[in-house]
C-alpha cells in the first residue's frame, strides 16, 4: 500500500478497534461482577447468605429472573453497539486526520515534481507554524535558491559568450585586415591583439580555477611570505591604469607585519581580483586604497593575531539587496553586459574560495553612492612555527 493517508487511516482504525474491544470487554466483566455483588449484598443479602456453597449459587441463580437477565443482556448489547459506533467515528476521524496530515506532504510532492519538470517559480503555501510549516518554508527557500542559481548560470553563459566573442572579434578582425593588406602589422596593432589574448587567457583561467575550487581540486603551494611585499607587487601592476583613468591609488602597509604561510600566486590573484573590481566600479577622480594591518580582534588575540587586508574604494557602492550575494558564483551587481561595467561574476567567487582555503575570512561592507570595502584575513605564522622555507602543497578544502 503506497498511500500514506490509507496507511495512517488503517492504523488509527485498528488502534481504535483494539482499544474499544478491550474497554468493552472490561466494562462487561466489571458490570457482571458488580451486579452479582449487588444481588449478594443488596436487598437479597439475607436469602443469599442463608445457604452455603452450591446452595448459595443455586439461590443466587434463582434471584436472577428474566427481568435481571434482560437487563444484563441489554447492557451488554449497548456496550458493543457503543463500541462499534465509536470505532466507526474513530475511523472517520482517522480518515480526516490522515488527509489533513498528508495534504501538505502531497502538496510538497507535487511541487517537487513541478520543479523537477522545469517550473522553478512554483512554491507551496505555508499555512501552519508547526513542523510541516517549517518543512514548507525550507522547501520554498530551497526552490528560491535553485531558481536564483539557475538564473545566474544562464546569465553566466551569456556573459561568457560575450566575454569570449568580443576579444575574438577584435583578434579576428585585425588578423584578417592584416592578411588582406588593409592595415600594416604594426607593433601597436600586434599589442592590441596580444591584449585581447591576455583577456581571453584570464577568463579561461578564472573558469578553470572556479571549477577546480568547487571540486576541491585546486592545489595550494604555501610558503612563508611577506604580505606587504605581495601587496606592493600587485599594486604596481595597476599604476599605469590608475594614471590612464585619472584615479588615485593609495597603499598603507602597517609596520612589523608578521609573516604568513600562503601561496603567493593565489594571494596575488585575490588582490588582483579585488583591486580590479574596485577600479571597475570607480570613476575618474575616485580613490582606491589598499591597506594591511595586524588585527587582534578578528584573530585569536595577542597570542594568535591575523593580518587584515582591505581594498577600499570611493566609487558607486553596492546596495543592501546586492551586498549579501557579491561572493556568490556568477553574481553580478551590474546587470549590463558591457565589458567595462559588467564582468562575468566569478572573480569574487574565486576570491572567497582562495581566502577560505588559506584559513581566512572574507567579507564586504558598502554604502550606496559612498564606496565599498572588501576585506580578508590571513592567519599568521606563530613563533615556533616554520616551514624553514620549504614549499608545502595542499588542496583546497
What CATH number does the domain containing 158 carry? 1.10.287.130
Same domain, 373 and 228: yes
316 SS3 class: coil
Pairwise CA distance, residues 210 & 347, whole Å: 9
Structural domains of the chain, count: 3
* Nearest one of 188, 213, 332 to 263, comparing CA atoms: 213
* Nearest one of 98, 94, 112 to 5, comparing CA atoms: 98
State residue 397's pLDDT score.
45
The CA distances from residue 172 to 96, 168, 346, in Å, are 71, 6, 26
266 and 225 Cβ atoms separated by less than 8 Å: no
Same domain, 112 and 142: no
Same domain, 228 and 372: yes
State residue 274's pLDDT score.
93
Same domain, 98 and 42: yes
Give the number of other Cβ atoms within 10 Å of residue 302's Cβ: 8
Same domain, 11 and 105: yes
Pairwise CA distance, residues 393 & 396, whole Å: 10
Same domain, 178 and 99: no
Same domain, 188 and 227: no
Q: Is residue 386 in some structural domain?
A: no
Pairwise CA distance, residues 23 & 19, whole Å: 6
- In this structure, what CATH number is given to the domain that contains residue 337? 3.30.565.10
Q: Is residue 125 in some structural domain?
A: no
Same domain, 359 and 230: yes
Same domain, 103 and 173: no
- Domain interval for residue 15: 4-48+56-117
**Does the predicted model carry a pTM greater than 0.75?**
no
Q: Is residue 395 in some structural domain?
A: no
Pairwise CA distance, residues 67 & 383, whole Å: 103
- Chain-centre distance for alpha carbon 154: 20
* Nearest one of 335, 352, 339 to 155, comparing CA atoms: 335
Give the number of other Cβ atoms within 10 Å of residue 367's Cβ: 13
* Positive/negative CA dihedral, 141, 146, 150, 153: positive
Same domain, 70 and 136: no
174 and 207 Cβ atoms separated by less than 8 Å: no
State residue 125's pLDDT score.
81
Q: Is residue 393 in some structural domain?
A: no
Same domain, 175 and 286: no
Q: Is residue 387 in some structural domain?
A: no
290 and 231 Cβ atoms separated by less than 8 Å: yes
State residue 74's pLDDT score.
78
Among 192, 215, 238, give the residue marking a domain's end.
215
State residue 339's pLDDT score.
45
Pairwise CA distance, residues 8 & 13, whole Å: 9
Name the residue with cell 601597436.
Answer: 188
Same domain, 171 and 101: no
* Nearest one of 366, 389, 362 to 307, comparing CA atoms: 362
- Chain-centre distance for alpha carbon 163: 30
Pairwise CA distance, residues 323 & 329, whole Å: 13
- Chain-centre distance for alpha carbon 105: 21
Q: Is residue 326 in some structural domain?
A: yes
Tens-digit pLDDT string for the chain (397 aa): 466 667 777 777 777 777 777 777 777 777 767 666 666 565 555 554 554 555 555 555 555 566 666 766 777 777 777 777 877 787 787 777 777 777 777 788 888 888 888 888 888 888 777 777 888 888 888 888 888 878 777 776 776 777 677 778 878 888 888 888 888 888 887 887 887 787 788 778 877 877 777 777 778 888 999 999 999 999 999 999 999 999 999 999 988 888 999 999 999 999 999 999 899 888 899 999 999 998 877 655 566 788 999 999 998 888 888 888 888 766 666 655 344 444 556 788 889 989 988 889 999 999 888 899 999 999 888 655 555 444 445 544 4
Q: Is residue 338 in some structural domain?
A: yes
15 SS3 class: helix
Among 197, 215, 233, give the residue marking a domain's end.
215
Q: Is residue 37 in some structural domain?
A: yes
Among 183, 215, 247, give the residue marking a domain's end.
215
* Positive/negative CA dihedral, 274, 144, 211, 162: negative
State residue 377's pLDDT score.
92
- Chain-centre distance for alpha carbon 115: 17
State residue 335's pLDDT score.
55
Amino acid at each position: 500500500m503506497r498511500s500514506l493517508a490509507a496507511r495512517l487511516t488503517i492504523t488509527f482504525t485498528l488502534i481504535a478497534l483494539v482499544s474499544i474491544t478491550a474497554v468493552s470487554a472490561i466494562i462487561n466483566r466489571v458490570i457482571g461482577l458488580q451486579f452479582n455483588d449487588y444481588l449478594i449484598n443488596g436487598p437479597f443479602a439475607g436469602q443469599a447468605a442463608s445457604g452455603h456453597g452450591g446452595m448459595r449459587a443455586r439461590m443466587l441463580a434463582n434471584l436472577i429472573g428474566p427481568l435481571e437477565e434482560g437487563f444484563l443482556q441489554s447492557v451488554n448489547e449497548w456496550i458493543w453497539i457503543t463500541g462499534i459506533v465509536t470505532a466507526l467515528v474513530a475511523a472517520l476521524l482517522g480518515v480526516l486526520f490522515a488527509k489533513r496530515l498528508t495534504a501538505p506532504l502531497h502538496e510538497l510532492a507535487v511541487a517537487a515534481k513541478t520543479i523537477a519538470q522545469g517550473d522553478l517559480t512554483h512554491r507551496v503555501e505555508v499555512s501552519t507554524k508547526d513542523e510541516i510549516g517549517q518543512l514548507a518554508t525550507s522547501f520554498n527557500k530551497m526552490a528560491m535558491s535553485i531558481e536564483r542559481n539557475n538564473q545566474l548560470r544562464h546569465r553566466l553563459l551569456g556573459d561568457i559568450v560575450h566575454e569570449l566573442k568580443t576579444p575574438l572579434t577584435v583578434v579576428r578582425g585585425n588578423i584578417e585586415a592584416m592578411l588582406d593588406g588593409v592595415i600594416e602589422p604594426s607593433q601597436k596593432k600586434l599589442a592590441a591583439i596580444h591584449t585581447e589574448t591576455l583577456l581571453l587567457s584570464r577568463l579561461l583561467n578564472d573558469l578553470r580555477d572556479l571549477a577546480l575550487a568547487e571540486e576541491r581540486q585546486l592545489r595550494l603551494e604555501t610558503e612563508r611570505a611577506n604580505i606587504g611585499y605581495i601587496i606592493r607587487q600587485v599594486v604596481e601592476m595597476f599604476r599605469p591604469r590608475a594614471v590612464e583613468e585619472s584615479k588615485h591609488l593609495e597603499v598603507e602597509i602597517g609596520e612589523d607585519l608578521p609573516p604568513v604561510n600562503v601561496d603567493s600566486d593565489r594571494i596575488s590573484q585575490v588582490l588582483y581580483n579585488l583591486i580590479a573590481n574596485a577600479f571597475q566600479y570607480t570613476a575618474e577622480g575616485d580613490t582606491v586604497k589598499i591597506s594591511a594591518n595586524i588585527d587582534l580582534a578578528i584573530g585569536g588575540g595577542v597570542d594568535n593575531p591575523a593580518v587584515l587586508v582591505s581594498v577600499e574604494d570611493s566609487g558607486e557602492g553596492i546596495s543592501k539587496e546586492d551586498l549579501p550575494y557579491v561572493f556568490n558564483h556568477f553574481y553580478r551587481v551590474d546587470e549590463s553586459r558591457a565589458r567595462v561595467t559588467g564582468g562575468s561574476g566569478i572573480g569574487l567567487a574565486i576570491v572567497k574560495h582562495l581566502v577560505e582555503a588559506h584559513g581566512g575570512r572574507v567579507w564586504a561592507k558598502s554604502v550606496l553612492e559612498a564606496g565599498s570595502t572588501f576585506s580578508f584575513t590571513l592567519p599568521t605564522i606563530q613563533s615556533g612555527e616554520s616551514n624553514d622555507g620549504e614549499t608545502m602543497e595542499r588542496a583546497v578544502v
